[in-house]
Amino acid sequence: MILRIDLSAKLALVGLLWVCAFMLPWAYQAFLCVLVITARFAIPQLRPQSERSSKAFSRFLLYSVAVATFVILLNSMLIRGGATMGSILGFSLYEEGLFFGVRTASRLLLLTYAVLLFFVSTPLKELIRFLQQKGLSPSFTLILLLTLHFLDHLPARIHQIFLAQQARGAPVDAGIVSRSRALLSILSPLVLSSIVESIDRGTALELRGFLNRPQDARLITQPTAERNALTIILLAGTIILLLATLSRWLLG
């Protein structure tokens, strides 16, 4: 039997990784981070659905490594305890702070990688269809759809407003102070235009019968035994890990 990674399995995988981020030691968390990155390239169902998603995932990997390094070094300097592991720019790095920073960084990376892998590999249309199939309220689905659409187009919209302000002579690229002063002139049209577009898009969806759309009978009557096999395995792994951690905590 071939296990298919559908949206149920993806959500179960995210839940399992989140539980691992809080229950497992940092070495296992770091190994799972490597597995998540490898799965992004090796498993077709977990690959980004667009070139923009692929670039965003790659950029986030670079940012996350930089943030993790900063967290580890900062904790190594501030939390004093244990042996001295070395020094950077005259600041000593302590063993206790180093391991605390490694645990914190590995946990944050695993949490964010799990969520990021789900969203970059899941088309928005497929996610909305899945939520409707599971019986989610059409009003809540509409709100979620508009929110995800806003977040998806947020970088491009900010870039357009930035270019428009720059063409009008606003000092949006003349240093940190000038950018801070011009922040309001960028945020105001961003918020107002987003509100207007959300209202127009929501009205258009309502006129097309989005809130009163009947469920697709084909999606409900599809056989789900094979599709849910991986989901059951992942959920079982999550429950076993939770019970094992709870029993170890009670007995220890």
Where are the domains positioned within the chain?
A: 7-129+222-251, 136-207
Backbone angles phi, psi at 86, to 5 degrees: 150, -165
| Digit-coded pLDDT (tens) for 91-111 | 888 888 888 999 999 999 999
Q: How many Cβ atoms from other residues are within 10 Å of residue 71's Cβ?
A: 18
d(C-alpha 108, C-alpha 95), whole Å? 20
Per-residue pLDDT band for 217 (boundaries 50, 70, 90) equals: very low
Q: pLDDT at residue 46 above 90?
A: no
Q: For residue 115, what are the contacts with CB-CB under 8 A and spacing of at least 6?
A: 14
Per-residue pLDDT band for 207 (boundaries 50, 70, 90) equals: low
Amino acid at 173: D
Q: Assign 65 to helix, strand or coil.
A: helix
pLDDT for 251 equals: 79
Per-residue pLDDT band for 56 (boundaries 50, 70, 90) equals: confident
Per-residue pLDDT band for 32 (boundaries 50, 70, 90) equals: very high
Q: pLDDT at residue 51 above 50?
A: yes
pLDDT for 18 equals: 92
Lowest mean pLDDT among 123-132, 218-227, 236-245: 218-227
Find out whether 80 and 96 touch, Cβ atoms under 8 Å. Answer: yes
Which range, 2-11, 19-28, 208-217, 243-252, has the best average confidence (pLDDT)?
A: 19-28
Structure tokens at 135: 């019986």
Mean pLDDT computed over 6-21: 89
Mean pLDDT computed over 22-32: 91
| Residues β-bridged to residue 88 | 91
- Mean pLDDT in the chain? 78
Mean pLDDT computed over 65-82: 87
Find out whether 195 and 209 touch, Cβ atoms under 8 Å. Answer: no
How does DSSP assign 94-115, residue by residue? EHHHHHHHHHHHHHHHHHHHHH
d(C-alpha 212, C-alpha 65), whole Å? 46
**What is the value of pTM for the model shown?**
0.71
Lowest mean pLDDT among 140-154, 157-171, 177-191, 214-228: 214-228
Q: What is the CA radius of gyration of the chain?
A: 23
Q: Taking the C-alpha atoms of 68, 71, 73 and 74 in order, what is their torsion angle to the nearest 10 degrees?
A: 170
Find out whether 85 and 95 touch, Cβ atoms under 8 Å. Answer: yes
Q: pLDDT at residue 225 above 60?
A: no
Give the residue ranges of DSSP H helices in the chain. Answer: 7-23, 26-42, 51-78, 95-120, 124-133, 138-167, 176-181, 183-207, 217-221, 229-251
Rounded to an integer, what is the distance from CA 212 to the centroid of its chain? 30
Percent of the residues in the chain that have a pLDDT greater than 90, as a whole number? 14
